[in-house]
Amino acid sequence: MIGNKNEGLSITLGFPDEHGYDNKKKQSVYRIWKRLSSLQRSLIFLVLLLCGISAIYIIPNLRQSHTTITDQVDPVKDDEKGSIQKLKLEKEKADFIASLKRKHAKHQIDDLMKKVKNQNANVAPAVKAGGHGEDNVLLPPDDQKEQALSNDARLDHGNEDEDSDKDDNVDGQLNHPLKTVDNDFKVEQKENSAVYDYFSPYRKHSSKQSAVIDAFKSSWSAYKKYAWGHDEFHPISKTHSEWFQLGLTIVDGIDTAIIMGLKTEYEDARAWIQNDLVFTHDRDVNLFETTIRILGGLLSAFHLTRDNVFKEKATDIGNRMLPCFNSPSKVPYSDINLLTGRAHAPRWGPDSSTSEVTTIQLEFRDLSRITGDKKYEKAVDTVSNHVHNLPKKNGLVPIFINANTGHFRNSATITLGARGDSYYEYLLKQWLQTGKTNRMYKDDYKEAVDGMRSQLVRQSEPNKLTYIGELLGGRSFSPKMDHLVCFLPGTLALGYINGMPEEHMDLAKELMRTCYEMYNKMPTKLSPEIVFFNQAQKSKDDLFVKPADSHNLLRPETVESLFYLHRITGDKIYQDWGWQIFQAFMKYTKVEGAGFSSINNVRSKGNPGFRDKLESFFLAETLKYFYLLFEDSIDYLSLDKYVFNTEGHALPIYSQ
């Protein structure tokens, strides 16, 4: 113990005295210290120093351990317990469903391999040789079963009813994929975000993707040889023509070359755009077509490469089209002279097409986002708000609107075909592009789909194919369906995984089957431009084609929807349908040494007749969607990061 103050500072050493008493001997600390040698003193200092350093590290850890133990021992609140237990149960459920998916996917792939093997065994030799004399188009065998199982998208994004013994590919009852809820993702695209290396030499393509790439290169090569720099290519006569004098095929097709990883084709296109693309020709252009093909193509190329050449050209043409919005109603005029800036209604009448004035918003909004100039987005938002406030028939709109008065032509037809289609498409896609923050687009879209289901959806006889008809004059139902309507299955499916009702997905699958049958029921396995569906109870065939409607323009809509349905459900039946259609294009529309041409008559296998025209959308959309259809990775151009405009150009999704 410590001694009293008279003796100075002392410390009890605890030694017994010489008489054996228990009295503790007191010694002065100072005296003891003086007796120590220099070495002993140094050792004491060292020990004290080490103890101090140890305390610095040990004491905080002891406190942290005490806190952890306390957290584990102390009871949590009831709501916290419930949340933890809920998370554990959800994880266990997800693991269980995943195991079922793998088991069922293997069962489906086994059956699919058997069917493909049997199909190939029964195909006539003439078809295998590429002859024109057989109805069926050969489907090549899929990859090895084990590889197919490992790559099968259904393992993570497929059918939910995995405990059923039915094969979804056989019975046609495709189960719903998992969907998201509102505001489940908001991706903020940043100017300096990393750019994917589309031209990497390590990229791999499936055999079907390689076939699509060859088709693109064949068309591109022929266009470059005979029509480079011109809008349109005529592969039979090997000539060219102008529509807008803007190198339409190049600008429309450049992002497809990027996505496919075709560096040479891309570099040729980029050089032409940088050096030769000008907007000073004294020529009228259509606002809608120029926006979706030229502006959309330039914006997509910019986002995929971050090359400012495309941004500068996009800004230039965007500025030149702004005078279209200087109408009394702010509904844009349909045409404009890019040199003089004079905008006007179309030559054929006073009205603009409804789809045209409402299918420019994705592109102009994106232009504002990359330039920081709000004038482009403001112009198209004014149009959208105006149309939103106009009276409609169950959310459905007539196909004509007057730029001077701002009103619909009430006697106009209501259709999801020509002049009406992409109005509905852009309602959903604008909601997605803005990060699901503008409910006006979502509400208008849901109302429109409800209107379609109540006013336009019918079933044919005798096989009950679901189709979308028209209201002539806004009143009288017609069982007419354009091939253009086949964009709708993909749009409905895209809406479903972003929170739309389950019946949207039901309708998407039914319409997808119908669009496929529009190809499958034709002798050439190619769809006509327009079909009519039978409504009489005793009809022999579900659909018929008028002679004037039997042509095929190499349109993309069905392939586009097949891409969405496969990407969303993971069901390979959509790839099979797409491959059959691609093979039919190869058989009946390919021109030896000159790419592809639209044809006159899909009902004639022996003489379909070339129309001598390659549409730019065949490169921009049809082949692009074929390529993406045969891509099994859901992360390649992910649907939660990109939205495709109506010409197939990929634009980013923003947070608002």
The Cα 152–Cα 227 span in angstroms is 41
**CB proximity list for 536: less than 8 A, separation 6 or greater:** 461
Q: Which of 162, 470, 482, 529 is catalytic?
A: 529
- 95 vs 576: CA distance, rounded Å: 30
Is 167 among the residues known to form the active site? no
Give the C-alpha separation, 366 to 297, whole Å.
12
Going by C-alpha positions, the residue among 500, 436, 465 that lies closest to residue 176 is 500
For 569, phi and psi rounded to 5 degrees? -95, -25
CA distance linking residue 263 with residue 260, whole number of Å: 9
SS3 457: strand
Contact 332, 287 (CB under 8 A): yes
Catalytic residue among 557, 571, 612, 615: 557
Give the tokens for residue 649. Answer: 């150009």
| SS (HEC) of 502-566 | HHHHHHHHHHHHHHHHHHHCCCCCCCCCEEEECCCCCCCCCEECCHHHCCECCCCHHHHHHHHHH
Q: Are 352 and 285 in contact (CB under 8 A)?
A: no
- Alpha-carbon distance 134 to 129, whole Å? 11
Residue 581 corresponds to which tokens in the numbers above? 């259609």
- Which tokens sit at 153? 């998208």
Question: Exactly one of 168, 335, 421, 632 is catalytic; which is it?
Answer: 421
* Whole-number CA gyration radius for the chain: 35
Contacts of 76 (CB under 8 A, 6+ apart): 84
Inter-CA distances, 595 with 224, 240, 626, 633, Å: 11, 14, 16, 29
Q: Which two tokens stand for residue 632?
A: 């099994």
404: region left, alpha or beta (phi > 0 left; psi from -120 to 50 alpha)? alpha
Active site residue 289: yes
Q: How many CB atoms lie within 10 A of CB 143?
A: 15
Phi, psi angle pair for 650, to nearest 5°? -80, 125
Output the CA–CA distances (angstroms, integers) from residue 160 to 58, 101, 257, 464, 503, in the order listed.
53, 8, 36, 26, 16
Is 570 within 8 Å of 153 (Cβ atoms)? Answer: yes
Name the 3-class secondary structure at 438. Answer: coil
- On the CB side of 150, CA atoms within 13 Å amount to 4
472: helix, strand or coil = strand
Among 152, 168, 289, 366, which one carries the catalytic annotation? 289
**C-alpha–C-alpha distance, residues 480 and 471, integer Å:** 10
**Cα–Cα distance measured from residue 473 to residue 510, given in angstroms and rounded to the nearest whole number:** 27
Euclidean distance between CA atoms 79 and 158, whole angstroms: 33
Q: Is 599 strand, coil or helix?
A: strand
* Three-state SS sequence of 577-591: HHHHHHHHHHHHCEE
End-to-end Cα, the chain, rounded Å: 75
354 is in an annotated binding site: no
Q: What is the DSSP string of 211-236?
A: HHHHHHHHHHHHHHHHHTTSSEEETT
Distance CA 459, CA 517 (A): 13
- Indicate the annotated binding residues for Ca(2+): 646
Q: Which residues are part of a known binding site? A: 646
Q: Which residues are catalytic?
A: 289, 421, 529, 557
